[in-house]
Structure 1
Amino acid sequence: MNNHEIDYKLYGDDMQFVEVELDPDETVIAEAGSLMMMDDQIRMETIFGDGSSKQGSGIMGKLIGAGKRLVTGESLFMTTFTNEGTGKKHVSFASPYPGKIIPMDLSELDGKLICQKDAFLAAAKGVSVGVELQRRIGTGFFGGEGFIMQKLEGDGLAFVHAGGTIHRRDLKPGEVLRVDTGCLVAMTGNVDYNIEFVGGIKTALFGGEGLFFATLRGPGTVWVQSLPFSRLASRVFAAAPQRAGSESKGEGSIAGGLFDLLGGDRK
């Protein structure tokens, strides 16, 4: 066992946070900015990459680890939290948007998990956060996640977050599941991942479901989210005021509509 063995507890329903319990000298790594709260005598340190032994101890290994995180759209830095006290201490991390936190025991997933680029939240020290390149051209261009996805490797515990409700699906050998490209959260390394055209010009142009979907072929395990952050953001943007100064006029209220109708100015 190369990873630190940590205990945890999840709180909340749709806006969750995870509380990690650290024994003396145990360490957890997390995305920069995900900290919610922590006990006294926990030392916080910012590092390049993920701090795993796979990066190597030299400066070049650290730069490579940080570079991998950069191409996945994440920060160059991660943060470690180490219990320097004599008893058990707790540190908590929160999701960046509404959804669920999924505990992933990599020792039960053949040591490898592939997930969307912004899914990783925190993990036991020793878990490697790397890059998974999509080798198929179609998957890279139309897969919703581009050529690059996150790859978590090790035998420890990792926490992945996603939007809405999370559904786990265990695929049998040869079983196929078609998923909206934005709804795919994570999959085990043995799942065959490809992209297919929806089919039919009318369906593609007017169906409202996009031109492509992900085809996942078992055996393996897949996690799917009901509300991708991109879908949530697009709905929020569509409902937001589109004109400068509309907030000051109270758009959406009766008074605001009356002033717009009469062409009045509140200044």
Structure 2
Amino acid sequence: MNNHEIDYKIYGDDMQFVEVELDPDETVIAEAGSLMMMDDSIKMETIFGDGSSNQGSGLMGKLLGAGKRVLTGESLFMTAFTNSGAGKKHVSFASPYPGKIIPMDLSQMNGKLICQKDAFLAAAKGVSVGIEFQKKLGTGFFGGEGFLMQKLEGDGMAFVHAGGTIHRRDLFPGEMIRVDTGCLVAMTGDIDYNIEYVGGIKTALFGGEGLFFATLRGPGTVWIQSLPFSRLASRVFASAPQRAGSDSKGEGSIAGGLFDLLGGDRR
């Protein structure tokens, strides 16, 4: 294997974290800010790009690797965690919001996985985190993920996070399913990904499902999430008070009553 061979265990139900076991000199890379805890003798290093073995060792190679991550909305930097001790050590990474962590063995996926832009959590050193350009104009404009998606390449383990419950669907050759554009988490490289108009003016305007579906045609495997983060965020935003202190007024708080009595500006 070109990638480091790591062991792991996933804990939790709705707010999961993954514990990675590292042998001496083994390394795992992760998104900046995803660390939960780590054992003694784990060395942490901030790196440009994704730290993959095929990323050039020169400055240009590192800049290109980092540039790919910026295009997908990620940070310029990633963090590498290396076991510099003598025995097995552990490092854990937490999911950023309620959902599931999906372990992906890239060696069983012809070395390539395409996923939504914010799905990547961590991977064995050597996995390349790049970009997948959507060549079809309709897919790029209306597919929900834009023209750029994340592309994970290598033969090691990678960990992807998505919201709600995750459903894996294996598609036979020619089999096609329609998915809400925000619910697509990941797919193997051989999936034919396109978009389709929902049809009907009334359905498009008042159906509440948007104007387009993502169409996924096999052969291949897709992963679908039940709760996209954008859907969760929109519900939270819609339920939030429209101005500071309005929630206190609704609950009949003493502070809110004093502000109203004194004519204070609560904005």
SS in 2 for 1:69: helix
In the alignment, which residue of structure 2 is the partner of 1:14?
14
* Deviation of the 1:266 alpha carbon: 8.2
Summarize the alignment of residues 183-194 of structure 1 with structure 2, pairs less than 5 Å apart.
183-194=183-194
* Deviation of the 1:265 alpha carbon: 4.7
Code of the aligned partner of 2:25:
D
TM-score, with normalisation over the residues of structure 1? Answer: 0.95
Instruction: Work out the CA distance in 2 between the residues paired with 1:139 and 1:8.
Output: 35
Summarize the alignment of residues 1-267 of structure 1 with structure 2, pairs less than 5 Å apart.
1-247=1-247, 250-255=248-253, 259=257, 264-265=261-262
**Does the C-alpha gap of structure 1 residues 255 and 47 become closer, same or farther in structure 2, counting only changes over 3 Å?**
closer
Instruction: Work out the CA distance in 1 between the residues paired with 2:79 and 2:33.
Output: 9
**1:139-159: CA deviations, max 9, x gaps?**
000011000000000000000
* Deviation of the 1:251 alpha carbon: 3.8
Instruction: Work out the CA distance in 1 between the residues paired with 2:262 and 2:21.
Output: 57
* Deviation of the 1:173 alpha carbon: 0.3
Instruction: Work out the CA distance in 1 between the residues paired with 2:36 and 2:108.
Output: 28
Instruction: Work out the CA distance in 1 between the residues paired with 2:51 and 2:120.
Output: 15
* Deviation of the 1:46 alpha carbon: 0.2
Instruction: Work out the CA distance in 1 between the residues paired with 2:226 and 2:249.
Output: 31
Instruction: Report how many aligned residue pairs link the two structures.
Output: 263
**1:122-175: CA deviations, max 9, x gaps?**
000000000000000000000110000000000000000000000000000000
* Deviation of the 1:243 alpha carbon: 1.3
TM-score, with normalisation over the residues of structure 2? Answer: 0.95
Q: Where does structure 2 lack aligned partners over 5 or more consecutive residues?
A: none
Instruction: Work out the CA distance in 1 between the residues paired with 2:21 and 2:10.
Output: 11
Instruction: Work out the CA distance in 2 between the residues paired with 1:91 and 1:14.
Output: 20
Code of the aligned partner of 1:92:
S
* Deviation of the 1:53 alpha carbon: 1.9
* Deviation of the 1:259 alpha carbon: 4.7
Instruction: Work out the CA distance in 1 between the residues paired with 2:38 and 2:94.
Output: 12
Contact 2:100 2:161 in 1 (8 A): yes
RMSD in angstroms over aligned alpha carbons? 1.6
* Deviation of the 1:55 alpha carbon: 1.4
Instruction: Work out the CA distance in 2 between the residues paired with 1:53 and 1:168.
Output: 29
Code of the aligned partner of 1:43:
K
SS in 1 for 2:149: strand
**1:104-138: CA deviations, max 9, x gaps?**
00001110000000000000000000000000000
Instruction: Work out the CA distance in 2 between the residues paired with 1:7 and 1:213.
Output: 37
SS in 1 for 2:54: helix
SS in 2 for 1:199: coil
* Structure 1 stretches of 4+ moved >3 Å: 263-267
SS in 2 for 1:79: strand
Contact 2:196 2:212 in 1 (8 A): yes
